[in-house]
Amino acid sequence: MKTLVLLIVSAWFVAACGLPAVNKVAKTNVNAINAVPYSQTENAYSLAQRDIGFAPLEDMVGKTASEMKLWQNKDVSRRLKDLMGPDLATMQKFWNTETPLKKFGDVLMLTGCERDNCANNRYVIFISLSESFINVVHIRKDTVKEWKTRGRINLPPPFVEELDATKSSKEEENGN
């Protein structure tokens, strides 16, 4: 009987002492993860959040909308239709002269314009792979119109410069 009581007490003591060690390990792991600077986790988060519908576009860098059959891509086409409504058909109609898809970070950029009238009828599409946003900018003779899904894409500097240059060249042509 003494042996049984001693065995139970020993087992209880071992179990009681073992629990704090498990908690201490768990707290250490949590604290170690929280100590990692954000910049080291940013890329992993961004990759984990990639939009499955847009991900294949990343492999199309260097190809035009026609070459990658962008208008036939059901996911992209549906999202553009939801975003632009009937203006999508107009954009497709005037998407005659096009530039290849560019990528900087998680943002893709594609441009197209009306043949022999690019200065007065140009479209620029931005797609954020990590945020699942699409922004479309239509630069016309006298106006600039924008369509945005849920929010504006934080454009990387090279794309900001290119868009600003396109808009400012338009203003210079109009004498503004």
User: Which pLDDT score, from 0 to 100, does residue 28 have?
Assistant: 38
- Is residue 45 assigned to a domain? no
What pLDDT score was predicted for residue 172? 52
Q: Is residue 104 part of a domain?
A: yes
Confidence (pLDDT) at 31: 41
pLDDT of 152 reads 81
Domain enclosing residue 71, as ranges: 50-173
How many domains in the chain?
Answer: 2
Nearest C-alpha neighbor of 153 from the set 85, 83, 67:
83
Bridge partners (DSSP) listed for residue 126: 109, 135
Same structural domain, 112 and 146 = yes
Q: Given this model, what pLDDT does residue 142 score? A: 83
Q: How far apart are CA 123 and CA 120, in angstroms?
A: 10
Based on the fold, state whether residues 9 and 68 are members of the same structural domain. Answer: no
Per-residue pLDDT of the chain (176 residues; tens, 9 = 90+): 666 555 565 665 555 555 444 444 444 333 444 444 434 433 443 444 555 667 778 888 999 999 999 899 888 899 999 999 999 999 999 999 999 999 998 899 999 999 999 888 999 999 988 888 899 999 998 899 999 987 788 888 889 999 888 887 655 555 54
Residue 144 DSSP code? E
| Same domain (yes/no): 88, 149 | yes
> What six digits make up the tokens of 143?
């106006």
Say if CB 94 and CB 168 are below 8 A apart: no
Same domain, 14 and 89: no
Closest CA to 124 of 160, 151, 73, 171: 160
Same structural domain, 81 and 27: no
